[in-house]
């Protein structure tokens, strides 16, 4: 928790305390009913805070089907509610979640994912450049020893690590071209080998 979070927590606590005190002062004649209402509002408040705090885990569990349906010669990915296609792959033995981006030419790892895959983002040489919708960013080339989607395995794949603030790793055309066909229809993307 940083200083801004602490200050916000103190402010909200003081504000909440002031509201509770005002509420009790206004309703001192019927304290039993006031206490019951205060407990209900307190539980609602705790529920909202818990939901906010767990949102990352909830979002992750909603995206748990990133691997889609893996067959003997194909991978079928459902279109997510945001219109994108997501895929979970084992990169150097670690599960990395990718958004499939046909506008990207390479596999692009976010810094957090690069670290999970065994790379130290601080020691990489960011000498390449990529031009994105958000402007130019520097990238560092890396080699992915293993890249697995179920039983489909590729070795020594070239990728780049994005130096910028990339939230989600991207699976670009260099990887998609390793498949015999890529078909998008009826809300599904099918990769065939």
> What residues does each domain of the chain span?
3-53, 65-192
Residues with Cβ within 8 Å of residue 182, at least 6 apart in sequence: 176, 189, 190, 191, 192
Residues in a beta bridge with 122: none
Is 2.40.70.10 the CATH number for 65-192? yes
Coil, strand, or helix at residue 47? helix
Q: Spell 161-187 as b/e; 16+ CB within 10 A means b.
A: bbbeebebbbbbbebbeeeeeeeeeee
How far, in Å, CA of 93 to CA of 136, rounded?
Answer: 30
Q: What is the pLDDT along the chain (193 residues), one digit of tens a residue?
A: 677 778 777 877 887 777 777 777 777 777 677 677 777 887 788 778 877 776 665 555 555 445 577 778 889 999 888 889 999 999 999 999 999 988 888 999 999 999 999 999 888 888 888 877 777 889 899 999 999 998 899 999 999 999 888 888 999 999 999 999 999 998 899 999 8
């Amino acid at each position: 928790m940083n200083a801004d979070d602490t200050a916000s927590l103190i402010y909200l606590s003081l504000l909440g305390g002031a509201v509770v005190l005002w509420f009790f002062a206004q309703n001192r004649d019927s304290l039993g009913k006031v206490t019951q209402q205060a407990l209900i509002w307190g539980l609602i408040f705790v529920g909202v805070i818990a939901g906010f705090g767990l949102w990352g885990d909830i979002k992750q569990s909603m995206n748990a089907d990133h691997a889609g349906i893996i067959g003997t010669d194909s991978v079928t990915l459902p279109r997510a509610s945001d219109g994108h296609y997501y895929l979970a792959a084992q990169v150097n033995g670690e599960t990395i979640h990718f958004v499939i981006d046909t506008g990207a030419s390479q596999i692009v790892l976010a810094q957090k994912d690069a670290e999970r895959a065994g790379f130290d983002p601080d020691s990489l040489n960011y000498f390449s450049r990529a031009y994105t919708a958000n402007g130019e960013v520097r990238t560092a080339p890396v080699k992915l020893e293993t890249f697995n989607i179920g039983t489909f395995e590729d070795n020594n794949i070239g990728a780049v690590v994005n130096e910028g603030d990339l939230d989600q790793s991207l699976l670009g055309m260099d990887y998609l071209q390793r498949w015999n066909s890529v078909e998008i229809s009826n809300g599904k993307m099918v990769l065939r080998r």
